[in-house]
Chains A and B, each alone.
Chain A
Amino acid sequence: MDPFDAIAMSRPARGEAGRTGDWRNARPVIDASACVAAKQARVTCQICWAHCPDACIEQGAPPSIDLEYCKGCGICAEECPAGAIAMVPEAEHGVCEAAEVEER
């Protein structure tokens, strides 16, 4: 018997838990003029990347956030030493663009 057919178990992969970006109430928005890495134009700091519990942040200067899977928990905004990340209510962004429907 394949254990994967007997119990709930998965191998970690992008999107394995579903399109969790749908859960988001507020969207993290990085202000590049305040971001430590962006100001230094080097991949430094990356504290937001280190703290994201869903591995939705890609390293960079500034880092980028994958809104397809970001649940909007706000940990990155809380942890940013420069206060460069604002949690902006989704309502202010209007309706999210429809993601390309993937055959599942």
Chain B
Amino acid sequence: MTVRILTGNESAAWGARLARVQVVAAYPITPQSPVVETISAWVQAGELPAEFIAVESEHSAMSVCIGASTAGARTFTATSSNGLAYMTEQIWWAAGARLPIVMCVANRSLAAPWNVLNDQQDSMSVRDAGWIQLHCRDNQEILDTVVQAYRIAERLNLPVMVCYDGFLLSHTAMPVEVPTPEAVDAFLPPRPAPLQVIDPADPRNIGPVVIADRRRDAGGVLRGGYMELRAAHHEALLSALDVVAETADEWERSTGRSTGGLVVQHRLDDAEVVLVAAGSLVTQLTLVADGLRDRGVAVGVLGIRCYRPFPVEALRERLSGVRAALVFDKALSYGYAGPIAADLRAALYGVDGAPAVYGAVCGLGGREVTPEALTDAALSALADARAGVRERAVAWVGRLSEEVSR
């Protein structure tokens, strides 16, 4: 084990290197570019025996990953923002084809208007595509999560998106423990045989049209239609709840470091209000909660590491007996609510003693999220919770008032 000073992007690249990725295909986009620049330099220097395939677009990057992963290679890519949006068609294909691709997303706002800074609208907009989606709090978690992601992906034949906040983590350096290759090899065996066997002696048509009805295949076996395949996919994704948690335990046994899992909690004991978020905001919220606890205000933090599948049971259990959950979303389902807030509200609906769920949107397009604003939001949630308020409109944290903007 070595401690290195690494940016989030370098941590992601180290994760891929330690996982011994075999094929990397990517297209540059801010703020992700240094991930694949780092990897391509290693490949060029002969330090990483992988095939680096430069492509002309993100759509092609994911297409190459799909081909390489189908052939059995351990495959990696990274993107951000509009690059992710551009590869959306292939993101769905990779999931439906059940390919264990790992992709880092350095979270950035979506255009229009152009803005290269952080929020989480990009990965949130593909939450329904059937990928496992993991969010990282700091650079150590990025490295650890990329390695863990391959174990999870290859066990379930599902792709995994490893998300971390652009610039806030991607370009910020901090000490990161880099495990030895031997330790990672012991944790992560080579990729098992893929579902899709490419063998001239037993040729397959991979990805044919599947009709609505069930039908007999060439061998006379009754096969499922489109809905049966989709149901199997959904069940695999739900089973990831156990696999993500187990993988974090195995990682702790291998490296002595506890990272990963479904949720992270901080000072939940007797909390009246729990602050909920994903990504680097979780780290920031722990400081806000500590400050409020110092003032005698019972506030805790619940960080969502695994956003898809959504850890319904873990959230219900940890929020039991809490007055209100205040969810900070760095994304918005326009015309409705923040995605995590809406999901949490649905997860708690009808549960006896469930907290009120308040939604707050913050940090869009890199708008600074200050500890003062988060503290004020937490105190206002506490006041509403004590007053018995169940429903609240989405609060905008950090939006400048008219007087200020003039």
Q: How far is the CA of A10 from the CA of B219 in the complex (A)?
A: 10
Interface string of B202-217 (1 = CB under 8 A from A): 1111111111000111
Tell me the complex Cα distance, A7–B99, Å.
10
Tell me the complex Cα distance, A21–B236, Å: 37
* Interface class of chain A by DSSP: loop
Give which listed residue, B202, B221, B229, contacts A8 with CB less than 8 A: B229
Residues of A within 8 A of B157 (CB): 6
Nearest A-chain residue to B210, judged by Cβ: A8
Closest to B228 in A: A5
Is A7's CB under 8 angstroms from B195's CB?
yes
Identify the closest chain B residue to A102 (Cβ): B216
Which of A12-20, A30-38, A59-67, A81-89 contacts its partner? A12-20
**B186 contacts which chain A residues (CB < 8 A)?**
none
Tell me the A residues contacting B by CB distance below 8 Å: 3-13, 16-18, 104
| Residue in A3, A16, A17, A104 whose CB lies within 8 Å of B195 | A3
| B-side contacts of A8, CB under 8 Å | 96-97, 206-210, 229
CA distance A10 to B97 in the complex (A): 13
Given A12-B203, A12-B205, A7 contacting B98 (CB threshold 8 A): yes
Q: Are A16 and B208 in contact (CB under 8 A)?
A: yes
Query: From residue 160 to 195 of chain B, which have CB atoms closer than 8 A to chain A?
Result: 195
Q: B253 in the interface, Cβ–Cβ < 8 Å?
A: no
Q: A13 to B229, Cβ gap below 8 A?
A: no
Please, which residue of chain A has its CB at the minimum distance from the CB of B195?
A3
Q: Are A18 and B205 in contact (CB under 8 A)?
A: no
Are B211 and A11 in contact (CB-based, < 8 A)?
no
Q: Quick check: B223 and A11 within 8 Å, CB to CB?
A: no
Which bucket holds chain B's interface residue count?
A: 20 to 34
Say whether B217 contacts A10, CB under 8 Å. Answer: yes
Residue on A nearest B204 in the bound complex, by CB: A9
The 4 closest A-B pairs by CB, nearest first: A13-B218, A3-B195, A10-B205, A8-B210
A7/B211 in contact, CB under 8 A? no
CB of B57 within 8 A of chain A?
A: no
A4-B221, A6-B195, A7-B195 known; A17-B209 Cβ under 8 A: yes
A6 near B209 (CB under 8 angstroms)? no
Known A4-B223, A5-B228: A11·B98 in contact at CB below 8 Å: no
B224 at the interface (CB under 8 A from A): yes
Most buried by A among B202, B205, B210, B232: B205
Q: Which residues of A contact B206 (CB under 8 A)?
A: 7-9
- Closest chain A residue, CB of each to CB of B226: A8
Among the listed B97, B216, B217, B224, which residue makes an inter-chain contact with A11, where contact means beta carbons less than 8 Å apart?
B217
A36 to B217, CA, bound (A): 38
Q: Is the CB of B196 closer than 8 A to any CB of chain A?
A: yes
Q: Which single member of A3, A6, A11 contacts B205 (CB below 8 Å)?
A: A11
A1 to chain B, nearest CB (A): 8
Q: Is the CB of B215 within 8 A of A104?
A: yes
Q: Is the CB of B209 within 8 A of A11?
A: no
Q: Which of A7, A10, A11, A16 has the most CB of B within 10 A?
A: A7
| Shortest Cβ distance from B223 into A: residue | A4
Q: Known: A11-B217, A12-B218, A18-B211. Contact between A5 and B205, CB under 8 A?
A: no
A-B contact pairs, 20 of them (CB 8 A): A4-B217, A4-B221, A4-B223, A5-B229, A5-B232, A7-B96, A7-B98, A7-B195, A8-B97, A8-B210, A8-B229, A9-B206, A9-B208, A11-B217, A11-B219, A12-B205, A16-B217, A17-B205, A17-B208, A104-B215
